[in-house]
Amino acid sequence: MNDSKKNKRDRITYVINNVGFFVSHRLPLALEAIDRGYKVNLITGLPGSESIEEKALETLKKYPIPHISVPFTSRGMNPFKEVKALLLLINTLRNVEPDIIHAASPKGIFYAAISRIFTNADKLVLSVSGMGFLFTSPKSVLAKFIAKMYKTVMIALINLQRTSIIVQNKDDFAFWSKLIYAKKTSIYLVPGSGVKLKHFLNANRKDDSRIILLPARLLIDKGVYEFVDAAKTVKKKYPEWIFVLVGAADYDNPSSIDQKTINQWVEDRIIDWWGHQDDMAQVYRKTAIVCLPSYREGMPKVLLEASASGLPVITTDVIGCREAITPGISGLLVASHDSKELAAAIIKLIENSELRKKMGEEGIKLAKEKFSIEKVIASIHQIYEYD
C-alpha cells in the first residue's frame, strides 16, 4: 500500500457472523460511512436464524452495500469446513482490498483478525459486544479448551497488528486492557450499538398495560427458563399479568430452546410468544415491564431501547446488563440464574405503578445521555479516522 493510500482510508469492509446481526446492529454505522465518502462492503457467514436472515437480506437490498457470503458459522467446529471458510474469507478480503476491516461477533472477530495478516488493510477494528456461547456456557471439556485457545490466539493477533478494540462495558474494557501490550493496539469504550431515540421516545404507551416482556433470542443464556419460572410464581398472585417472549426460535446455537418446549409453555398458558418482531417500538408501546435475566452481555440493545421507550427494566447483575441501567433508579438488578429473585422484583414493580413510571422517566434520561445512535456512530468514526 502506497503512502497516499495510507493517508486517507476510504474503503471499509465489515466482517460479521450473519446479515441479521449486521442489519440490526451495524447498518446505520455503515450508511453513515457511505455518507462520509467511504466505499463499504459486507462479508458475512451463514445465517444464525433462517427466518431473520431472509428478512435482513431483503432490507440489505435497499442499500448500496455489496454483500459476499462466506460459509462460516458462529458455532462451527468442523476443522476442515472452518479452514476452508477462513481461506475463502482471506481470498475475499484480498480481492476487496479494504483499508479498514471492521469485525463484530466472536467468530467474525476471530477470522477477521487472522485474515488481516494476509491483506494490505491499514487498520483492524474489532467490536467486542459479548464473548459468545463458549464463554457464557463452557460446560464441556472441549468448550473450555476452545475458549482458552480462542483467548490465547486473540491475544497474539491483536498485538501483532494495528488494531482498535471497541468494547461496550467497563468489565470488558478492563479485561481486554490487560491483554494489550503493543503500542499500535488501542481500546475504546463505546456503550452499545446506539438507539434511534426518536423512534422510541414519546411512544404514547398504554398506561394500563399488564405485559411483562422478555425481548431476546430464545437462548438459555438469555435467562428464558428463569423468566418462565418467575412467570409461574407471579401468576399465582397476579394471573391477569401476561408474560411475553419476543424473539425467533430457530437459532443455530447450542443454547437454543427448542420449538416444542416453547409451544408447551404457550399451551400451558405460562407465557405468550410473539416470535421475531421487526418493529420493537410498537412492542414496547404495549409493554409495562421489560426483563432480561441474561447470564452475560456486551451492552444489550433491547434494554437501551426499553429505557428510551420509558419502560422500567429488570435485569441481572452481570457484565453488560448492570451498565445498561442505573440500578435502583431506572431499573432493578437481580442475581443471575435466580428465578425467585426475579419474581420478587417483578411483583415489586407490579405493585407500585408510581415506581414503574419514575423508573421509566429515568430510563429516558439515561438513554438521551449515553445511548443515542448519533453519539455511538460519531465515536466509532473517530476511531476509523484515528491513526
Q: Mean pLDDT for the chain? A: 89
The confidence band for 353, taking pLDDT boundaries of 50, 70 and 90, is very high
Given this model, what pLDDT does residue 387 score?
Answer: 61
- For cell 443471575, name the residue: 336
Given this model, what pLDDT does residue 311 score?
Answer: 95
Least-confidence region, from 251-260, 303-312, 373-382: 251-260
Given this model, what pLDDT does residue 162 score?
Answer: 85
Instruction: Say how far apart CA 354 and CA 161 lie, in whole Å.
Output: 53
Name the burial class of residue 77, with classes exposed (0-12), middle (13-18) and buried (19+) by CB atoms within 10 angstroms of its CB.
Answer: exposed
Given this model, what pLDDT does residue 211 score?
Answer: 97
Average pLDDT over residues 48-56: 86
Least-confidence region, from 23-32, 122-131, 274-283, 286-295: 122-131
Given this model, what pLDDT does residue 159 score?
Answer: 86
Given this model, what pLDDT does residue 123 score?
Answer: 92
Average pLDDT over residues 220-230: 96
- State pLDDT tens for residues 82-129: 889 899 999 999 999 999 999 998 888 989 999 999 999 999 999 987
Whether 228 and 269 have beta carbons less than 8 Å apart is answered as: no
Whole-structure pTM over 0.75, yes or no? yes
Given this model, what pLDDT does residue 1 score?
Answer: 39
pLDDT at 75 over 80: no
Residues contacting 152, CB < 8 A, separation 6+: none
The confidence band for 23, taking pLDDT boundaries of 50, 70 and 90, is very high
Residues contacting 267, CB < 8 A, separation 6+: none
Instruction: Say how far apart CA 101 and CA 124 lie, in whole Å.
Output: 5
User: How far from 272 is each of 229, 253, 345, CA to CA, in Å?
Assistant: 14, 22, 20
Given this model, what pLDDT does residue 134 score?
Answer: 47
- Copy the grid coordinates of residue 255: 443454547
Question: Residue 37 CB: number of other CB atoms within 10 A?
Answer: 8
pLDDT at 4 over 50: no
Given this model, what pLDDT does residue 269 score?
Answer: 96
pLDDT at 146 over 90: no
Given this model, what pLDDT does residue 99 score?
Answer: 94
- State pLDDT tens for residues 298-340: 899 999 999 999 999 999 999 999 999 999 999 999 999 999 9
Q: Which domains does the chain have, with CATH numbers?
A: 3-194+372-385 (3.40.50.2000), 197-370 (3.40.50.2000)
Q: Residue 370's closest CA among 189, 129, 172?
A: 189
Least-confidence region, from 147-156, 178-187, 295-304: 147-156
Question: Residue 65 CB: number of other CB atoms within 10 A?
Answer: 18
Instruction: Say how far apart CA 230 and CA 52 lie, in whole Å.
Output: 28
Average pLDDT over residues 65-94: 86
pLDDT at 354 over 80: yes
Given this model, what pLDDT does residue 361 score?
Answer: 94
189 in helix, strand or coil?
strand
Edge-first strand order for the sheet with 313-316 is 272-273, 242-246, 211-215, 289-292, 313-316, 331-334
Instruction: Say how far apart CA 138 and CA 36 lie, in whole Å.
Output: 42
Q: How far apart are the first and last CA of the chain?
A: 16
The confidence band for 377, taking pLDDT boundaries of 50, 70 and 90, is very high
